[in-house]
Chain A
Amino acid sequence: MEVRVQNVRKEFDRFPALHDVSLDIASGELIALLGPSGSGKTTLLRLIAGLERPTAGKIFFGNEDASEKTVQERNIGFVFQHYALFRHMTILENVSFGLEVRPRATRPPKAEIRRRARELLDLVQLSGLEKRYPSQLSGGQRQRVALARALAIEPRVLLLDEPFGALDAQVRRELRKWLREIHDRTGHTTVFVTHDQEEALELADRLCVMSQGKIEQVGTPDTVYDTPQSPFVFGFIGESSALPVTIENGDIRLEGRSIGVSTSEPNGSAQLYFRPHDIELIESDAALSGHVVTSRRVGGTRRVELDIGGAHRVEIDLPFDHPAAERSQIVFRPRRWTLFPDR
């Protein structure tokens, strides 16, 4: 089921949470809403679910206008950060709940409900725990029950609100992989909210990066990572350093000195963004030379913080065996970079 969000605005007590947001979600796609807290990503998810009503704008499920429909009518699967399981019900009862509350006309027979619930517990690898209560399961197991429960109603769209936010790092990684497998197997259109960029990059077909109630950029993980459209996206996705530069006749300068790379941008001031690993060391004297302030080992590389002229600090990655002693002088230039002209 494809979902179309059209010019949606949402205010809470006059405080705008979303400004005029539009987003097309393709059928069968796994899309991540990514942003810092307060960016409106959860609000957008809850609007799609029908847990909130938009102040203005419309939401379509396929060709059907879902904006005025209640949560119950929308037939969506929703997974909450803190599981929201029914603690007085067994695991099997939790998963069966969505089918059992259906009106008699559309409710499958009891044996059929049980069979389907068992099948789903099998899918989420929890067979054998049917009779347990939620309090007897670990966090990761509870979240899998929550997913099975959401899938039981055969939702048109699956919505997950920070589904792994309350779990520890190890379980998180496992469940991430596993969610991707489930998605590939069941093919549900899935929207999930996260503030963890690593999770979004690894899991999603497409990212929707949000900030302050607006969508900053939508695209595949590669596009968003390699060609960020705004300083916010550059800074939020992946590691980055920024320098205030001026452009003079195609020459990029820092504090009036050329840094050894050129551009076709018109003259003016701009912010130069680059990633710590997209640099190369050079021998000649250039503006981008600084002395090492801190140096720490990050996996296979050495992350070094440089002080340039006492005014700017940037981070660059060096080979781990580089003899970057403290206070030693390093000269470099960015290999790949992006300019965002100041307005």
Chain B
Amino acid sequence: MTDFLLENSWIIPIYSLVGALLTLPWSLGIIRKTGPRPAAYLNIVMTLVAFVHSSIIFKLIWTRPAQQFIFHWLQVADLDLVLSIELSPVSFGAMELVTGISLLVQIYALGYMEKDWSLARFFALMGFFEAALVGLALSDSLLLSYCLLEALTLSTYLLVGFWYAQPLVVTAARDAFLTKRVGDIVLLMGIVALSNYGEGLNFSELDTWVEGHQLDPTVAALLGLALIAGPIGKCAQFPLNLWLDEAMEGPNPAGIMRNSIVVSAGAYVLIKLEPATTLSPISADALIIIGTVTAIGTSLMAIAQIDIKRALSHSSSAYLGLVFIAVGLRQVDIAFLLLFTHAIAKALLFMSAGSVILTSNNQNVTEMGGLWSRMPATGMSFVVGSAGLIGFAPLGMFWTYQRWFSGSWDVDWWLLLLVMFVNALSAINLTRLFRVIFMGEPQIKTRRAPEVPWQMAVPMVALTVVTLITTFTPIKWPLWLSPNTPLSLEQPELINQYAIPLLIVSGALGCVIGLTIRVRQAWARSSNIAVRFVQDLLAYDFYIEKLYEVTVIAAVSGLSKLTSWVDRYVVDGVVNLVSLATIFSSNALKYNVSGQSQFYLATIVIGVGLLLWSMLHGQWSIVTNYWSSIM
């Protein structure tokens, strides 16, 4: 039985895909008399099946070596496209995370979306989303991963666009798709090039190929950069980070998935691609630089947000920035731990945020307050989720940092400083949020705030427990990817001794600042111009969006208008003129050819001429009008 399940584990993504397809009768409006909830139940059941299936194999796979299944997709000419999947503790660990969180989120959505008549479409999209994510966890082929990343791009577009009639959704969905697509297309360029250099596109083969390749350094650098472009878009890293902010227009349950699992999916591919980033030092450096810029920038942006979802989503970018740095430093085990811990804690925070939003009909944190005593599940989730993210409380992220700086890995002072910075800002942000949402006096919108119904409360409580339990992951299983423990340094250096105390101090400092800092009042602004400027600068994401508007977007739209104009008035006109001239001058041809052929030509030309004449008969006015109109 278990062997059967193991051999057929490729079917796990199919479950949720089937679930998605089963919703069609409702989402297409074929069943109209009764409601769409069966579609939701079907999807939850499918996800449960996927979760159980992957759990069974996860237990099994611990004791076995990683297995690969190879599927020849397409053999054409000299190209053999192979899709392969890998069954290993890592892939099933990732799959557990995906199916588990997806299951909780879907139950949560049953409560959050209970008033939405398009429930079937929502669950169809969630099913599709989940299928792509599970597939990504299993995939061992760059091509397959690319395909699934694109599927994610599409489902993000559709999920963000779920409330399609809402004006801001219209642009948010478009921007989310296009931003991710930029990354995807560059990644595709990388894949096409890589495939062209004789590479089989399997992650496992990539490793050996990278060591033996003989590429020109420039080409290698470009290739490396192209390959990391996809994850940059997916993980909302600078300069492709803004979509995540905008994507918060979508329904919150999808937002939970997006901020925890989807951004992680991009990073997961990056971890798998890690060998390729060592193609050239430039691509590894690029990862570190991008990660650093994003971590610092988005940490700052997060503390200036007044929208609860946006304050949390910018923080996702910041943590993913740390993951990028870890991958750039080739410390993939740490990257994996960071991803894992962040995903669970962030999912919990977003669930908590969702229930606050639903209860208060509001996302503006400056209009909240005093929820703590009335919403125990929500409040506890927020506290535990925050604790899981801040390297101060002894939960997941703390132990992850501890692993990072304990001496097993080669770390530097700048890295410690950066992590302290991110940690402190994250602490400021989360304590600030906790304070304005749960503490203080209730405001008008939080005056009546009963706790959410069980469909939402149960997943929250469950995930709270999971967050507490998974604290042991970084402690007990710090190595998922490296076969051996990296060599411990004989003599712990100064940095290893001071790192943990310093991180605790940074976290504590952040909490203190977060608790004491003056927070913005609802609909009131500081009168100090400098404060306002900084606030706005951060709140509007350093005006990066505006920058894009006046550069890239303006360029594309200007260019397209120009080409369109040229097309309409120049190309059309000139070609019309030339073709007219050619028709008449083609008669000249017949003087150049001789004998038999000349006769043929004359016949045909005359024939075509007659043909034309007979067709144009009676329509000369159109012809003359036409030519006079363009000349």
Does chain A bind chain B?
Answer: no
Which residue numbers of B lie inside 8 Å of A, CB to CB?
none
Which residue numbers of A lie inside 8 Å of B, CB to CB?
none
